[in-house]
Structure 1
Amino acid sequence: MQVFPRKLEGYLREWGGRSVRKPLVIRGARQTGKTTTVLKFAEDYPQYIHLNLDRYEDLRLFYNERPLHEVVDEVFFLRGVRKERKTLIFIDEIQRSDRAINLLRYLYEEYPEYHIVAAGSLLEQSVDVRRAFPVGRVTYAYMHPVSFEEFLLALGETQAVEAFQQVPVPDYAHEKLLELFHRYTLVGGMPEAVRTYAESGDLIRVRQVYHDLITSYADDIEKYPISESKKAIARHVFSTMLFHPMQRLTFNGYGGSSYGSTQVKESFETLQKAMLCTVEYPLTSTGLPLQRNKRKKPRLHLLDTGLCAYAMGVQEELISIRDLRDARKGLFAEHIVGQELRSSSPTELVGYLYWVREKKQSSAEVDYLVLVDGQIIPVEVKAGAVGRLRSLMQFLDMSDERCGVRLYAGAHSVNTITTMKKKSSLLLNIPYYHAAKLPQYVRTLCPST
């Protein structure tokens, strides 16, 4: 099985090199590559211990209330490894044992010489992470779907990676990266789908992967710690939401159902805990602090664009287009850009910030807001002439900001624009495949003062 590099590996190595390190808890949706990445990282150590609490023989180690040193002694004895050597201990499927979760605190205090990593496929569903894990005694990291840069690495496109890492991208590399980004959008970012495509180039096999993934996620709902009636609602919401990425949500009667607003909202919260979706409320102000307005309709983001493309049956459509904005009124371009922005950081769960102004005569919606060194940067995913960026210009007019970004299929360029209120601002035109590099563009071309 091909194992390709993931961004989280770099963070794991930085964490492992610290003189003082807390146990690391890796969070993320199921099937995003948490276990594979940690086991690859574990090979850097002279020895490691992998405890999978889905296996009875590992789970039983945490059954009894006994001193921590007895647990540690037994683990090392059963694995046949010496306690004196540098050791990584990986506790997988940790949500299966409250005792194991509680012991993380004492491992940190009593055995600081060991490097402890924990993860779980249904961790967010099984426990309240903020309450279950000892406050101030663990560090969190996040595993996202495969980013575009990781996709290039998986395909062995080393020259494309080198070009991608430059800001701005060299002109000669633009068309190649654009074509590869379209391929990435239709393949998606689920590791098994990327691996299958990298090994075979066969989209039919990729479709089978997504069929199996969606079936697996639906089956997971049966394992959620909720009532049978709530499981039925969650199944309906899950099967419906795959067809409506980027939709502003009305909870009541969602998907043509008879379910009420509270029932549907709770189901979305359940699926969000599993990190299968994110329900984001908009901002209506233009300054700091960034506060979401929960009186407005929220917007739906899904775990991965590839899941949507498969469910909606548009993979062939995505193959042939020149501009992602031409597919389904631009929703795939907008969604994949958000996915790239979120995947840029393995140490935090970046929100999908966006801004709306809902007035009868002058409604506006800016696709994304990105915070860069205290600047609130409005971002529009748009094709065509600059004059179409009315929402972005409204935001600039109502804020103190003087820099906006357009993500599109064209090459990098910079324009000076004049807003409706005659405010002179800088517009950075960036290829949408370079969304993850947006902060570097802003820091170089429009630094904060």
Structure 2
Amino acid sequence: MERKAYAHLLEWKETMHGSTAIRLDGARRVGKTYLVKEFAKNEYKSSLYIDFSLADRKIKDIFVENARDLDLLFNKLSRAYGVTLYRRKTLVIFDEIQTFPFARQMIKHFVEDGRYDYIETGSLISIQSNIENILVPSEEQQMYLYPMDFEEFLKAMGDGDLIGYLRECYEKKTPVGNAIHARAMDWFRQYMLVGGMPQAVSEYAKSKDFKRVDIIKKQILNTYRSDITRFAKGYKEKVEAIFDDIPSELSKKNKKFKITALGENARMRDYENSFMWLADGMISSLCFNASDPSSVGLSMYLDRPTLKCYMCDTGLLVTHALMDRDGADNSFYRDILLDRLGVNEGMFMENIVAQMLQASGNRLFYYYRSDAGNAENNMEVDFLIRADRKICPIEVKSSSSDSVSSLKKFHRRFPNTGQQIILYTGDVKTADGILYLPAYMAPFL
């Protein structure tokens, strides 16, 4: 399946010429290993692939014992793996690098040596326990791999040409048209249910069977639970509590994560590291309240206690929310496919918008203010993004509703902010200075 990240890897190879290594971060089962193996096969004369989660002690000892003699180190690795290494024509892949931090520390010396290109992949690479006692190399060029986006999903389904027309309509701000909009929304609803984890997408492309896809997604969720048990040392119970409560918190009208849901005496300062653990593992995505959206530097005005916590993949969220039921036979699947989303189910639309915005390079912010003394100051805007050097407010609607009360309040309070946007299930239109876009156009923002 085609991934946009391949083009970024190719750009790195052609411009950096080995002066940096790529560190490819991503959640478990997001397709990192498959991507780099395909890249190595197509773009290099040979490749040396080492999975440190499976490598035995003898392989790891080669790194430790020969750290000062790279000629001998690579000679031993070449013989151990039966791979001929060619100067400037071989890609060395360190998979699951987080399980052997010493090799990551050596990236500095490998890059300085300059004979090969290097890609490190792994999950939970950035959590504290995986970088203790090592010097993190500055020669790493970080790259994120997210679940497959809507364009990648369409290509996997054999309808990739559709995205070009949708992008053209977005750029011209012209309606898509009833027939094509219905087709795009049909695909988009399927994407919401399947999600973007490559194994799930691949299965759906072959079978169109939600039940088989649901089994795969449950396996992935169980893998995440296993990782929490193994690696969230010192606060496993808190991470588990947050992970389990994500669907419940998102199902509320106010999507903010209410910390007291985890315990009557729970405080954000006690759980902040646990939220960050899930975010570092790219299992969840955190969206912070920006208390001054008139400032382009939103990260300078974060109100951390009022965060929202989304799942990294909406297909996984669907299965997570229905974990105690056979989701493929559940009426909820039919409701989404037939455009019968209720108020509570709107959380899936908001989650998939968060997923697409983040995959497009946007950090996640929103705006919330409560004022008991003045109703005009009570407002919540789902997302804030930076565009054309201004902050643009975005509201997400799970139907064709055109309610704009929060956006109007926001604009009156912050008149110098940018284009107001509503993402909904209808076609492209502009009314009263507000741009209405189909939700499937979120990746273009």
Smaller-chain TM-score bracket: 0.7 to 0.9
1:156-305 counterparts in 2 under 5 A? 156-168=158-170, 170-171=176-177, 172-224=179-231, 226-227=233-234, 230-245=235-250, 247-254=255-262, 261-288=268-295, 289-290=297-298, 291-294=300-303, 296-305=305-314
- Give the letter aligned to residue 91 of structure 2: L
Taking the aligned partners of 1:231 and 1:379, their CA distance within structure 2 comes to 35
Pick from 420, 429, 432 the counterpart of residue 436 of structure 2: 429
Q: Secondary structure at the match of 1:286?
A: coil
Deviations 1:111-143 (A, max 9, x none): 1x42210011332334249984222x1101001
Structure 1 segments unaligned to the other structure (5+ residues): 418-425, 439-449
1:18-417 counterparts in 2 under 5 A? 18-20=15-17, 21-44=19-42, 45-54=44-53, 55-56=55-56, 57-64=58-65, 65-78=67-80, 79-84=82-87, 86-111=89-114, 113-125=115-127, 126-128=129-131, 132-135=135-138, 137-168=139-170, 170-171=176-177, 172-224=179-231, 226-227=233-234, 230-245=235-250, 247-254=255-262, 261-288=268-295, 289-290=297-298, 291-294=300-303, 296-313=305-322, 316-321=331-336, 322-323=338-339, 326=342, 328=344, 330-345=346-361, 350-360=362-372, 361-362=375-376, 363-382=378-397, 383-384=399-400, 386=402, 388-399=403-414, 400-415=416-431, 417=432
Deviations 1:74-133 (A, max 9, x none): 22343331434611111111112232111111111111x422100113323342499842
- Give the letter aligned to residue 101 of structure 1: R
| Displacement of 1:294 | 2.5
Distance of aligned partners of 1:167 and 1:13 in 2 relative to their CA distance in 1, 3 Å threshold: farther
Pick from 7, 10, 14 the counterpart of residue 7 of structure 2: 10
- Give the letter aligned to residue 307 of structure 2: P
Distance of aligned partners of 1:364 and 1:189 in 2 relative to their CA distance in 1, 3 Å threshold: same
Q: Secondary structure at the match of 1:48?
A: strand
Contact 2:400–2:426 under 8 Å retained in 1: no
Q: Secondary structure at the match of 2:386?
A: strand
Identity %, equivalent residues: 26
Q: Secondary structure at the match of 1:193?
A: helix
Contact 1:325–1:331 under 8 Å retained in 2: no
Distance of aligned partners of 1:96 and 1:63 in 2 relative to their CA distance in 1, 3 Å threshold: farther
Contact 2:228–2:240 under 8 Å retained in 1: yes
Q: Secondary structure at the match of 1:297?
A: strand
Q: Secondary structure at the match of 2:48?
A: strand
Taking the aligned partners of 2:91 and 2:198, their CA distance within structure 1 comes to 24
Distance of aligned partners of 1:375 and 1:338 in 2 relative to their CA distance in 1, 3 Å threshold: same
Give 1:444's aligned residue: none
| Displacement of 1:251 | 2.2
| Displacement of 1:402 | 4.8
Contact 1:26–1:117 under 8 Å retained in 2: yes
Q: Greater shift after overlay, 360-369 or 294-303?
A: 294-303
Number of equivalent positions: 416
Q: Greater shift after overlay, 46-55 or 274-283?
A: 274-283
- Give the letter aligned to residue 61 of structure 2: R
Q: What root-mean-square deviation, in Å, do the aligned CA atoms of Structure 1 and Structure 2 show?
A: 2.5
| Displacement of 1:259 | 5.5
Distance of aligned partners of 1:155 and 1:276 in 2 relative to their CA distance in 1, 3 Å threshold: same
Distance of aligned partners of 1:81 and 1:324 in 2 relative to their CA distance in 1, 3 Å threshold: farther
Q: Secondary structure at the match of 2:161?
A: helix
Q: Secondary structure at the match of 2:23?
A: strand
Q: Secondary structure at the match of 1:272?
A: helix
The TM-score normalised by the length of structure 1 is 0.85
| Displacement of 1:296 | 4.5
| Displacement of 1:265 | 3.3
| Displacement of 1:174 | 1.0
Deviations 1:375-421 (A, max 9, x none): 211111124554x2111122222220252111111111122x2xxxx
Taking the aligned partners of 2:96 and 2:339, their CA distance within structure 1 comes to 41
Contact 1:51–1:58 under 8 Å retained in 2: no
Taking the aligned partners of 2:264 and 2:436, their CA distance within structure 1 comes to 42
| Displacement of 1:69 | 3.0
| Displacement of 1:19 | 4.7
The TM-score normalised by the length of structure 2 is 0.86
